[in-house]
Amino acid sequence: LGITQFLPEDDRHSHTAQELKAQLAVSMGGRAAEHLVFSQFTTGAADDIRKATDIARRMVAQWGMSESVGPLGFAERENEVFLGRDISRPAEYSEKTAQDIDAELKRLIHEAWETSLSLLTTHRDQLERLALALLERETLTSDEFKLVMEGKELPPVPTDPRPSPPSPISSGTEGSG
């Protein structure tokens, strides 16, 4: 299992559709790598899939970034259904619109999946180098990541500069007393 974290390059509150589609493709990368390398899926990508679906839903239903659905905003219900309370409430949008939103989410996620799979297939050598480096080190800094992607050797793992603790076995004091 793994996690990818990105440090913010600056404080931004606005993202383009292109940037968000790239985030979707990154989110689908772990699952695509599983498919490419092992020809199977695990539960390891569950959080990535959830995050990708959330981004895609916001793109379509909140930010108007879908040509097929249009520049409309569909607010999510904030209250959970409790004892049938929402049954009498009118829906914010039609069943047809809900189906259109679902179809667009599926299209965006599938497009991100195809992008990830294509990139990983094209750059399989880099994927394998990265996997080996992560097996060796468990974590990589951004500089180490760049070296791996460029096919360069990683510097040796720094050793702990602190002296090792004394051995619990005492020397020369046995038998006194």
Chain segment 92-111, per-residue pLDDT in tens = 778 888 899 999 999 999 99
Q: At what angle do helices 46-61 and 17-27 cross, to 10 degrees?
A: 160
Predicted local distance difference test score (pLDDT) of residue 88: 46
CA-based nearest residue to 20, from 47, 50, 68, 60: 60
Is the entire prediction scored with pTM above 0.75?
no
Residue 35: pLDDT above 60? yes
